[in-house]
Amino acid sequence: MTFIRYFWPALIAAAVVGAAAPAIGTFLVQRRLSLIGDGVGHIALAGVAIGLWLKISPLAAALGFSVLGAVGIDRLRRRAPDESDMALALFFYGSIAVAVVVASRTGNFNVNLFGFLFGQVLTTTRAELLTIGILGAFVIAVVSLLYRGLLASAIDEEAATVSGVPVTILNIVLMVLGAVTVGVGMQVVGVLLVAALLVLPVGIARNLVRSFRGTMLVASGVGAASALIGLFVSNAANTAPSGTIVLVVSSLFVISDGVRRARVISAQRELEEPQHA
């Protein structure tokens, strides 16, 4: 009980990010953009370094850079699809280089920067919690409001365009929502691990359910539960919360994959039995 009373901001922040990240991740996975969160995380780190340098909120700077970077990534990916891999690599690693150079030049290679690298959920302030709560609610609300359009463009862009769905606008919205999620998620698990919360819960849900809506709902539930379980385990084992959270969700993915394989084997046996009979 003492843990809950003292760390309730961390618990709420972890639950919000754990639920919001897979909601966006479901659409990204469907569109084969699973690693986009990792790239945007690199860009967010540059924002953190510049925020520390200018003595403004690192979280606000990271959010701004993440949104601009995500929109830029989407435009690059569409304008030059054949060269997008190299362009995106330049974008991502250039951002890391900016973070390193700015941090080293301004003397901010310290616990503040490393906290954003690996997460600092246990030091979440009430102001940060308010920001995370508002942005998390915003992400979930927009996904709910634009669900049909986002789903149509994620499944088949060409068919959605022909049907009158504003695919270009929805693509930008999706990338912006992903950037916002990465920005707030770095407080919980850090920019190096935030992509795990975008993707792994979705993989778990896809192993257990078939419908897209069901996948998104289960993934959000798994993400929130994993974040909370990870915090309690890290407190009991005296380990880093971010790594523990990701290990919990990784373990659940392995278990769910085993369940899926068992189902496939069982279904195959049921199909073979009548033939042998």
**pLDDT digit string (tens) for the chain, length 277 residues:** 555 566 888 889 999 999 999 999 999 999 888 777 778 888 888 888 888 888 888 888 888 888 888 888 777 777 766 656 676 777 778 888 888 888 777 765 565 667 777 788 888 888 888 988 999 999 999 999 999 999 999 888 888 888 888 988 998 899 899 889 988 888 888 887 888 999 999 999 999 998 999 999 999 999 999 999 999 999 899 998 989 999 999 999 999 999 988 888 877 877 776 655 5
Q: Which long-range contacts (CB under 8 A, 24 or more apart) does 7-10 make?
A: 7/122, 7/231, 7/235, 9/124, 9/125, 9/126, 9/128, 9/129, 10/121, 10/122, 10/124, 10/231, 10/241
User: How big is the CA angle at 268 (ends 265 and 273), to the nearest 5 degrees?
Assistant: 125
DSSP string, 121-165: GGG--HHHHHHHHHHHHHHHHHHHHTHHHHHHHHH-HHHHHHTT-
Q: Which long-range contacts (CB under 8 A, 24 or more apart) does 81-88 make?
A: 88/39
Domains of the chain: 2-276 (1.10.3470.10)
The CA distance from 101 to 259, in Å, is 46
pLDDT per residue as tens digits for the range 173-211 = 998 998 899 888 888 888 878 889 999 999 999 999 989
In this prediction, residue 258 carries a pLDDT of: 92
The CA distance from 136 to 17, in Å, is 7
Measured on CA atoms in the order 87, 91, 93, 94, is the torsion positive or negative?
A: positive
In this prediction, residue 124 carries a pLDDT of: 83
The CA distance from 115 to 99, in Å, is 14
Largest interatomic CA distance in the chain:
76
The CA distance from 157 to 166, in Å, is 10
C-alpha dist (Å) from residue 37 to 32, 160, 193, 260: 12, 24, 9, 26
Rounded to 10°, the helix 194-208/241-276 angle is 20
Q: Encoding tokens for residue 120?
A: 């600092």
229 close to 248: Cβ distance less than 8 angstroms: yes
| pTM, 2 dp | 0.86
165 close to 152: Cβ distance less than 8 angstroms: yes
